[in-house]
Chain A
Amino acid sequence: MSGITRKGIRYLSSLVLIIIINFTLPRLMPGDPVKNLIGEDVYVSENVMEELRAELGLDRPLYEQFASFLSDLLHLDLGYSYHLHAPVAEILLDRLGWTLLFVGISVLIGAFLGSLFGALAGWRPEKRMSRFTGLAFIVLSCTPPYFLALLSLYLFSFRLGLFPSKGFYDVLEIGSILHHLFLPVCVMSVFSASRNYLVMRGSVIQEKEQLYALYARAKGLNDIGILFRHIIKNASLPIITLLALDFGFLFSGALFIEIIFSLNGMGTLIYGAIMGKDYPLLQGAFLVIALTALLANMLADLFYSLIDPRVRRPT
C-alpha cells in the first residue's frame, strides 16, 4: 500500500470518527434542549413539550437521528439552529468570516513575530536582548488571555481612549473595522507570538549545534545567512506543527478575547450553543473545526516533506 493511500485511509477514518463523536458528544451533555428553548420561568404543558420535541426530531430513537444527520450531511445540510433561528451553515459562514479576520491575522502575525524573535534569540541566547525577550514572552505566555485582554482594554481603550471597547465596528466601514480590531488582534498576536517564540528559540538552539551550521560557517557564510538560509528551515518544523494545531483554535475562535471585546465570533457562538444545548449548531461548528484541523494537518504533512527531505526519504 502506497504512502498516499495509507495517509488517505488514516484521514478518512479520522473523519468518520469525528462525525460520530460530533453527534454523540452534545447528546451526552446533561440538560434538555427543549427545556432550554422554553426558558426559565415559562410554564408549558407536557403536550407542548412533546410537540416541540417532535418538531425538532428529538423524539426519534438515536440511530434514526444519526441516520438523518448523516443524510443531511451528505446533502451538505448542517441543519437549523434551535436558538438562533437560521440555517447552521449560514450562521457559521457569517461568524467564520469575522473570526478568520481577527484570529487568522493574529495567528499569522504571531507566527511571524514569534518565529523571527525566537530565531534571533535562539541564535544568540546569551545576549541581553535575547534574555529580555525570553523573559517577556515567558511572562506573556503564562498570562491568561482573559487578563491580558482586560488589561489592554483598560489601558488603551478606557484610560487612553485610543480604541473602542466593543464590537467589530460602529459603522460598517473598513476604517471602523480596523480601528475596532486593532486591540484584539494585538492581544492575540502577542499571545500567539509568545508560544511560537518559545518553540522557535528552543529549536534554533538545537539546530545551530548541528554540523551543517558549522560547515556553513566554514564556507564563510555570515550569521544572517546561516540563520535564515539554513537553520531556520529545519527549525521551523515544530512551528508548522504548531500552526496546524492553531487552525483548530483559529476556527473555534478565542472565547475570552471575544467576551472581553464583545465580538460576535465563533468562540461565543460555540459557548452559547453548549449552554443552550443547540445540537445542530454544535454539530456544525465542531465539524467545521475538525475538518479544518484535519486539512491543516494534511497541509502540515505536505510542508514537512517539502521542507525536510528526510521526511520524503523512504524508511
Chain B
Amino acid sequence: MKQRKNFTKSELNRGLKQWLIFAVLTIIVYSNIYPAVAAEPENSEENLTPSNDGIFDRIITYIKSLLGDEEKTQVSGAVSEAAAAGMQQSADTGGAVLKIATPSVIKSPSFLGDSNLGVFAHLSNPPLMKMDSEGHLVGQLAESYEVSENNTCWTFYLRDDLYWSDGEPVTPKDIEFSIRYYGKEAPSARWINDTLESAAVSEANNSVTFKFNKPYTRIDLEFATYNILPAHIWETIENPVEYTNNGPYVGCGPYYLKLIDLNAGKLVFEKNPYWKGKAPEPETVEIHFYSSVDVATLALKNGEIDTYYKYAGSYPYSGIEQLEETGNFDFIEKTDIGLVFLALNLKKAPFSDTEFREALAYAINYEEIVSLETLGYGEVPNRGFVPSSMENFKETERLEYSPEKAREILEKAGYSDSNGNGILEGKDGKDIKLEILIRPEYSRTGELLEEYLEQVGLASDLRTADADTWVTLKDNYEYDLTVTRSTPWGMLMHASWGSGYFDSRRTGQGVMHNLDDPEFMQLCDNILATTDSQELQSYAYELQNYYAENLPAIPLYWSSIVTPYNRHFEGWYTDPLYGIYNLDNFVNVRKIEA
C-alpha cells in the first residue's frame, strides 16, 4: 500500500519515457527490416512489389543482414533458391560428395554386430548376390552360379576384376571364409553352421562350392544379404561380433568404409582405389544419421542432404509436398514388396471359420485406410496378399468394401443378432466381442477397424501395447486381431511370398506363426524343394491363390516407397530388397546441369 502511495508524478513521467523509447526503437527496427526485405525482390525484377511474407520472415531477414549475410539473404519463399545454390555447388564440385540422410542410427561401430551398419556396409563389402530392379536374383561379386540337381551343391564363379581397397585381389577363399565366419560368429546365421557340410575353393575356376547336408534352394537369396569380408584381415580377429573400430575397413566395393563417427552422426565412404568396375562419380558418400525424422526432412529441404534412405521404409509421405515445392528434388516411387496387414488369430473361433474371415474382408474400407495412412502413396491390395512389385506376382481379385455383403455372409454363416442388442452372436450363442491388439504406430488404423467392425455388428476393443508386449501377446496367441507389417526381407524369407509370417513351424519377433493348414505347409515345402524357375512361378501362383481363397491374413494396403533425390544427380536405380542402397545405384549416379 505504501508503494502505491509513492507512485508519484516523476515515476509516471519515467513510465511514459520508457514507452516512448520503446516506440521509437520499434519504428527504427521496423524501418530497417522493411527495406531489407523489400530490397530482396530486385533480383526477380519485382522491386516495386513488397514481400508477401509476414513480420516473422522479415525479422529473420533483418537478423541475417545484421550478421553480414546480405548476399545470401532469403525470404521464406526463397529458401529453396539457397538450397538450390548449395545443391548445385555440391554437384558441381569435382570431388562431389553424395550425402544421404537416414533415421537408421548406427549405435555401435561394430561391423558385424550393428544391423544398420550391416545394411550400409553393402556399399563397401557387397554380398555375393544381389536383386535387380525387377526382383530377379543375379550375381554381384559372383559372375555366375549353378546348383546341383539335388539342390545340395552351390557353385559360385567369382568376377576376376575384384580387389580389396588395400590392393589385395578378392579370392574365392574370401567368400568361403566370410560365409563360414558368419555361420560361426553371427547367431542369425547359425543355420549355415548347422547345414554346411563342406566348402571347396578352386583357384583355377575362381569359384567356390558349398555343399549342404540337405537340399537348400534359397542360398542365392540368402547370399544377397551377407557382406563379404577380406579373409586376410578378419581371420586374425578373435571375437568379430564384439570387435569395434571406427575405421577404415578394407572393402572390395566401389567404395570402402573410411570412417564411422557416432558423435558426428555420420559414416564416410571413399572411393576404392582398386575398383575396376564402372567408376563411380562422387568422390565420397556420406551417410548422415538423424535421430529425428523431422530434422532429417528439414535437412533435405534445406539442401544439406541429397537423398534419404531407410531400409523397408519410405520418405515420410507428409513431407513430400514440401520437398516438391523446393523444385530441387525428383522422386523415385516404387510399390514396396512389404505391406501392412490385419493378422487374425486363426487358432480360435470365429477366425478359424473361413466364412467369418470372408465377411471381415468385406467390412474394411480399404480406400479410406489407404488415403489416411499413405496420403495417396498406396493402393487397395488384392486378396492374394503379395504386392504387385514382387517377383511372380499373380493378379487376384481386388479387396472390396461392402458392409452389406459382409453382413449377408455373416448371417448366412450363422452369426446373427438374435437378442437384438446390435451385436452379432457367435456359434456359441454369445455376443462376439473382439480384441484388436495394436502397437502405437497403428493406432489410427486400429480405430478405423473398430468403426468398420461396429458397422457390421461386431463389437471390438482396442488394446494398445508397446512392441515387446505385442510380441509376447502375439506369441502366446492372446489376441483376436492385430495390425502388423511385413518387410521386404520378411516377404522373401522362408518359402517367400510372405509365407514366413504364417507358417506355424517358424518363430521370430515379427512373425505370426498361426497357420498350420497342411495344404499351406505342403505348398511351402514344395517351394523350398525347388530351384526351377518355372516350378517356382507355378507354386508362387498357387500360394497367392491360397491366400485369396482362405484369407489367413487381410492385407490393408500396399504402399509405395518414395525416395527423394537431388535432381542435380541422375541415374538413380532402386531394387525391391534394399531400395536405392545398392551398388548399381552408386556407380550410376552422375551429376547433371539441372
| Cβ B64 vs Cβ A86 within 8 A | no
One of B89-97, B108-116, B196-204, B351-359 contacting the partner: B108-116
| Cβ A31 vs Cβ B108 within 8 A | no
| Cβ B469 vs Cβ A260 within 8 A | no
Counting CB contacts under 8 A, is B25 at the interface?
no
| Cβ A126 vs Cβ B288 within 8 A | no
Which A residue sits closest to B472, measured CB to CB? Answer: A30
CB distance from A118 to the nearest CB of B (A): 21
| Cβ A166 vs Cβ B469 within 8 A | no
- CA distance in complex: A272, B107 (Å): 9
Which residues of chain A from 240 to 275 have any CB-CB distance to chain B below 8 Å in the complex?
258-264, 268, 272, 275
- CA distance in complex: A275, B490 (Å): 21
| Cβ A165 vs Cβ B295 within 8 A | yes
| Cβ B506 vs Cβ A43 within 8 A | yes
Which B residue sits closest to A259, measured CB to CB? Answer: B291
| Cβ A46 vs Cβ B507 within 8 A | yes
A44, A80, A169, A171 interface centre (most CB from chain B within 10 Å): A44
| Cβ A85 vs Cβ B188 within 8 A | no
Counting CB contacts under 8 A, is A215 at the interface?
no
| Cβ B188 vs Cβ A44 within 8 A | yes
| Cβ A166 vs Cβ B295 within 8 A | yes
- CA distance in complex: A46, B475 (Å): 14
| Cβ B500 vs Cβ A39 within 8 A | no
Which B residue sits closest to A35, measured CB to CB? Answer: B509
Counting CB contacts under 8 A, is B265 at the interface?
yes
With contacts A158-B298, A158-B302, A160-B60 known, is A41 near B487, CB below 8 A?
A: yes
- CA distance in complex: A263, B263 (Å): 7
Counting CB contacts under 8 A, is A52 at the interface?
yes
With contacts A85-B244, A159-B60 known, is A153 near B115, CB below 8 A?
A: no
Which residues of chain B from 467 to 503 have any CB-CB distance to chain A below 8 Å in the complex?
467-469, 471-472, 487, 489-490, 493-494, 500
| Cβ A160 vs Cβ B64 within 8 A | yes
- CA distance in complex: A203, B545 (Å): 75
| Cβ B487 vs Cβ A40 within 8 A | yes
With contacts A39-B509, A166-B288 known, is A277 near B294, CB below 8 A?
A: no
| Cβ B468 vs Cβ A38 within 8 A | no
- CA distance in complex: A304, B508 (Å): 55
CB distance from B551 to the nearest CB of A (A): 22
| Cβ A40 vs Cβ B244 within 8 A | no
User: Which A residues are CB-close (under 8 A) to B79?
Assistant: 159
With contacts A83-B107, A167-B264, A169-B264 known, is A38 near B188, CB below 8 A?
A: yes
Instruction: Identify A165's interface contact among B110, B298, B472, B500, CB under 8 A.
Output: B298
Counting CB contacts under 8 A, is A36 at the interface?
yes
User: Which B residues are CB-close (under 8 A) to A160?
Assistant: 60, 63-64, 67
Counting CB contacts under 8 A, is A69 at the interface?
no
| Cβ B263 vs Cβ A45 within 8 A | no
- CA distance in complex: A86, B107 (Å): 11
User: Which A residues are CB-close (under 8 A) to B506?
Assistant: 43
| Cβ B494 vs Cβ A43 within 8 A | yes
Counting CB contacts under 8 A, is A155 at the interface?
yes
CB distance from B198 to the nearest CB of A (A): 21
User: Which B residues are CB-close (under 8 A) to A126?
Assistant: 3
- CA distance in complex: A274, B493 (Å): 28
B residues with CB within 8 A of A: 3, 18, 60, 63-64, 67, 69, 72, 76, 79, 82, 105, 107-108, 110, 113-115, 187-188, 190-191, 194, 241-244, 262-266, 288-292, 294-295, 298-299, 301-302, 304, 466-469, 471-472, 487, 489-490, 493-494, 500, 506-511
Some 10 contacts from A to B, beta carbons below 8 A apart, are A41-B490, A44-B508, A45-B190, A48-B190, A52-B187, A83-B107, A128-B18, A160-B63, A172-B264, A260-B291
A residues with CB within 8 A of B: 29-32, 35-46, 48, 51-52, 80-81, 83-86, 98, 126, 128, 150, 153-155, 158-162, 165-172, 258-264, 268, 272, 275, 277
Question: Ordered nearest first, which 8 A-B pairs have the shortest CB separation?
Answer: A31-B468, A167-B265, A41-B490, A40-B510, A85-B113, A84-B108, A85-B110, A259-B291
